[in-house]
Structure 1
Amino acid sequence: MKTRFLWILAVLVPVMLVMSGCSLSPNRLPSVKAGVSADYEVTLKFASVLNLPTGADVMMNGLQVGRVKELNESKDGVDVVVGLTASRPVPADSTAIIRQNTPLGDTYLGFTPPENPTNAGNLHDGSVVPMSRTTSPPTLEDTIAVLAYFVNGGTVQKVQDTMVTLNKTLPQIKDVRRLASTVATDLDDLAGNLGEIDRLLTGLDGVAKSFPASRVQIEHVFGDQGIDYYKTVGYSLVRHIATLLPSVGSVFTGGLWVVPLLTSIAEAAENAAPIWPAGDRMVAGANDFVSNTLKPFLKNPRVAITSVKAKGSDKQMLADSASILRILGVVR
């Protein structure tokens, strides 16, 4: 009888499993990661949800804040009803996106809080997140197609060629090290002279602060008085230059008479050129005359008369002149 009972049990168990399998689906299985309570429900409108299953996690900042409860088709796309926990409030102006960390990983819904929080409050029971704040992911087929185009379209080869070109263009490692060493030395010098930079900045600050104190003078320079001054100077300068230029022109024009004079001087110099080779003898003779004749006479200027000759009646006058000079001691 025990054997008969085991046979009946072996037949009934598969039949029950087959009959119950008609109402069993993966979507009805509880999420193994569902660990938060669903205190209130929120509806999010998506254009598409890819393969987001019911029971998928709802994450925010790496923490689970709820799970997906229902997926309902609408005229604009898909309405995703999620159950959120009250212990982790979600800002009302957050954005939502369906994510999948890896192509074969689990799909989940992620909330992104705003960078600049507002006074919109938090999501509550019955809140609706519009499609303008939701992002639908691309389909897996599109992702694989893009990846295939990236691999087969030569992009990888282009990246490799670009890296090779960069390696050829960039300097050698030793040059880079030398440049880095020079830059480091310059930075050390700069750090050691921060006091000079502070002094320069202090001086610039002092100059900048002096402008308000000299406001009146600056206004005079760039005001109506300064403009009149510069206009007067410019007018006077241009007027004198305009007066001077015709005069300079008249000098150049009236100076044409100098041309014949310069021509004559040039011709005289050309004619005198043959006598210059005898110039050394002339200079030597002049030096000898000055040294041996002129200088001794100037030191002791006297004239020795050795004889006087006369003709006719002049002989008696000459004899009387000689007697007078002998009396005076001039003639011996």
Structure 2
Amino acid sequence: MTYRMSIKARRALIAVAAAAGVGITSGCGLTVEKLPLPKPGQSDDSYTLHAVFENALNLPDQAKVKIGGSEVGVVSNIRTKNFQAIVDLTVDKSIELPKGSTAELRQATPLGDVFIAMSKPQTQPGTELLHDGDTLTLEDTSAGATVEQLLISVSMMFNGGGIASLSKLGSELDSIVGGRGPQLAHLITEMTGVIGSLNENSANIDGVLNQFHTLAGTIETRHNELGQVADTLPNMIGAIAENNQAIGDLLSKLSTTSAALGDYSNTSGQQLGDLLDNTHQLMNALAATGDQFGQLLDRLQVLTPKAASSFRGNSFAVYATATNLDISALTDPEHGGLQDLNDLQDFAGSIIQVLQLVQGRVTGAGR
């Protein structure tokens, strides 16, 4: 009995409510289309962020703001400034976004509405958070590829784009490698050997690079000295240029002298050899006398004034003592003789004659 009464009571209340609704509707002219709809995702406890995008033409008003697929806010306003779109994001106050967060325009489905996906960076405890009124600049915002861009990219890839390039590349590789398998294998083997050698000599290569580094450091430390040398080079070059003629004349004379000495050695080689051989024998003979040659010169120095005084006087008186004197006239009378000044003059004349021949070859008189 009670259950039936409650059902009847409920039905009566529904009928009264319906009648009241119809009366209100018919009296005020209110329709379903005019009823206000709640805005998605909005709440009274929220804060606003501003995001700057290069282009937000497909972003609708009241678009969703999501983090990891979860809705955290809505787009409350879109305006333009300096050819850029400034979007106001109303985010639930319980969501903490650290500085460095990014915003990207995305589409859930190819024909779906565009929404804004927020991403948090990896942060350490104590990182500063975004507050009401902060702005995400162009460096923090981006736009994902739209359906139109995706279709254009696919069309370009298949119609003369990447697929056609890959086909052309495959045909070119086939024309290059076709029938040249052994050559290609040999090339790969050689390249492998070269790479192996480089790997084995990596320590030497590192050493060379270190030496270059050291050289570069030395040059850097000697920068001032090198600059001074570079400053003095123009003066040195100028001095050489001024004396260019003199240097050329000197080189010409040296060339002439060298040629003359060469001609003399070619034409008078036997005579020069004989002269040098006689000089060698004379020096050996003088060396063989040892101290006796010095004693002979001392005694000749003592004997010379006496001989001169004897020749100048009316009488001939010479007193001379010779001991340990080896003279070829005494020891070998048959083949030897006394040495006189003529022998020394002949020796000096021979040397003078050789020097005159050399001078004649140098000056060109005998050429």
Q: TM-score range by the shorter chain?
A: 0.3 to 0.5
TM-score by length of 1: 0.43
TM-score by length of 2: 0.39
